[in-house]
Amino acid sequence: MTWFKRSDAMADSSVHSQPASLALHPLEWRVSDRPVDYPEAVAAMERRADQIHAGTAGELVWLLEHPPIYTAGTSARAEDLLDAARFPVYPTGRGGQYTYHGPSQRVAYVMVDLKRRGQDVRRYVWRLEEWVIRALAQFGVTGERRAGRVGIWVDRGGGREDKIAAIGVRVRRWVTFHGIAVNVDPDLGHFAGIVPCGIQGHGVTSLVDLGHLVTLAEVDSALRLAWEDVFGDAAAEAP
């Protein structure tokens, strides 16, 4: 399965290096206190990605929620949209297939400059996974990768595995956007309108569904704490 979308511009060796002035802009964390409409969020991400590439703005991690929607990644299959009338459906340029976004799900859109971070998209995706895993661990939840299955999974026992976080990214001119979505306490019934990420035979879960009564603010704090371990100067590396 494709889980990231890479712009053709990345393969162009003539793309200029980032201006040194970019180093003057520290990473910014932004939290939106209202649900953000999806087209508004995509437009904002694209503007910021262009500014990062131009060296006029720093990297950004944007924490937000969306109203109930489905989004279709670049590998989405029509048959995996089971109830098109339930919520608005937005095609999107990120990698992956269908996913649900809605209230009480923490979406983290990550706009960073991979020219400064190794120019390795697969390592970047591994780090996003590791970031989620380490954040979940702060609540006593063991999140795991699964070969051939995008996202972060929780072993429920008895052969049952549920997805707790989705990952889908796009990279353009070595600047990332889109990112992750962690289920804190969304209405899990809303996932019934799609085949999440095109994966049959497995369910979805959330922190609250697992018995951890945490808030979005607490998840935000866990993400910020885990960020430095994974993306900081002494960043974790893929094995």
Query: pLDDT tier at 239 (50, 70, 90 boundaries)?
Result: low
Q: For 64-78, what is the mean pLDDT? A: 94
> Quick one: pLDDT at residue 139?
98
- Contacting residues for 179 by C-beta, under 8 A, at least 6 apart: 61, 107, 108, 109, 110, 128, 167, 168, 169
Q: Are 228 and 134 in contact (CB under 8 A)?
A: no
Q: Is the pLDDT of residue 187 over 80?
A: yes
Nearest to 112 by CA among 28, 19, 202, 218: 28
- pLDDT digits 0-9 by tens, 28-54: 999 999 999 999 999 999 999 999 999
Q: Where does the chain show beta strands of DSSP type E? A: 4-6, 28-31, 60-64, 69-72, 89-91, 98-101, 105-111, 144-146, 149-157, 160-172, 175-183, 203-204
For residue 223, give the H/E element and its range: helix 216-231
Number of H helices, E strands in the chain: 3, 12
- pLDDT digits 0-9 by tens, 106-153: 999 999 999 999 899 999 999 999 999 999 999 999 999 999 888 999
Burial (0-12, 13-18, 19+ Cβ within 10 Å), 77: exposed
Burial (0-12, 13-18, 19+ Cβ within 10 Å), 70: buried
121-137 vs 216-231: helix crossing angle, rounded to 10: 130
Ramachandran category for residue 186: left, alpha or beta (phi over 0 → left; psi -120 to 50 → alpha): beta
Average pLDDT, the chain: 88
> Quick one: pLDDT at residue 25?
75
- Contacting residues for 12 by C-beta, under 8 A, at least 6 apart: none
- pLDDT digits 0-9 by tens, 6-34: 443 343 333 333 344 445 578 999 999 99
What CA–CA distance (Å, rounded) separates 215 from 183?
Answer: 11
Q: Is the pLDDT of residue 234 over 70?
A: no
Q: Which residues are catalytic?
A: 197
In eight-state DSSP terms, residue 206 is -
Burial (0-12, 13-18, 19+ Cβ within 10 Å), 224: middle
